[in-house]
Amino acid sequence: MQPLHDSRAFALGFLGMATNLHSNSPMLTKLIASFIGHQKANRASERSRGALELPAPEREGGEPLLRALSRRHSSREFQSKKLPIQVLSNLLWSAFGINRPKSGDRTAPSALNAQEIDLYVALSEGVYLYAAKPHRLELIAPIDARRISGYQDFVDHAPLDIIYVADMRHTLARIEGERALQYAAISAGAITQNVYLYCASAGLATVARGLFDRKALGEALGLSDHEEVLLTQTVGYPG
Ligand SMILES: Cc1cc2nc3c(=O)[nH]c(=O)nc-3n(C[C@H](O)[C@H](O)[C@H](O)COP(=O)(O)O)c2cc1C
């Protein structure tokens, strides 16, 4: 499958933002680097670990659903402070964890229960894949990919970026053509909203982001032809 390089959306985003840019803006530098194909991840500044075991998620508590819905919003100001491991655990479980262990079913729906969305977790110490069954993070690359997961400046220092990757091997045999990608995008949207609601409940800031360098990010994650980055989402403490 051809990766989507949505140059029209990119150009529109660029035009929309360029009016607010100074010539020395890091965002402008990133946009230019992206145009000439030079967006690269940094080597992680801290030691990466092969796997990060997550504590069991807390499945009770938090704000009532209707209050969380009242508070849900996008934020673009973040502290660089790291998220405690328990918060990371709760967040990923809320996003797309297993809520029915007998069947392995998840907190978000997917067409034909294909569960085709993989959550890549970009931390300062590396990019990890969220493995829902063992509920742990598995190291994919010892790089700090946050700087290439978006053009907006806040993504460089916010502690967490979730990268939504559709693995079409799960759907291609059963769902035809473009519809497979549509369904994957809808599933990613459901997970995104789970993250928004968890953040609203836990007092965290978040924003879903479609504006990023798909090629650079796909290369940094070592994605194959059947995998596609759909969306990214930044999470952290409100700035
Ligand atoms: C698919 C999608 C892509 C988005 N891309 C970006 C983005 O690249 N940058 C950004 O700052 N916000 C992005 N947003 C957030 C929207 O701008 C935000 O949801 C919208 O302004 C409404 O604000 P609210 O979420 O606070 O209700 C995106 C949202 C969605 C659903």
Q: How far is the CA of 55 from the centre of ligand 1 (A)?
A: 30
Task: Assign residue 185 the CATH number of its domain.
Answer: 3.40.109.10
Longest dimension (CA), the chain: 56
Atom of ligand 1 nearest to the CA of 13: 8
Nearest CA to ligand 1 atom 21: 74
Is the residue at 1 inside a domain? no
In a domain, 36, yes or no: yes
Examine residue 2 and state whether it is found in any structural domain, yes or no: no
pLDDT for residue 26 is more than 90 = no
**% of the chain surpassing 70 pLDDT:** 81
Distance, in Å, from the CA atom of 140 to the CA atom of 214, rounded to the nearest integer, reads 17
pLDDT digits (tens, 9 = 90+) for 89-148: 999 999 999 999 999 999 999 999 999 999 999 999 999 999 999 999 999 999 999 988
135, 93 contact by CB (below 8 A):
yes
pTM for this entry:
0.87
Number of independent structural domains in the chain: 1
Distance CA 66, CA 207 (A): 20
Q: What domain range is 25 assigned to? A: 7-236
Tell me if 95 is assigned to some domain: yes
Q: Any residues with Cβ below 6 Å from ligand 1, and which?
A: 73-74, 76, 152, 207-211, 231
Expressed in angstroms and rounded, the spacing between residue 211 Cα and the centre of ligand 1 is: 9
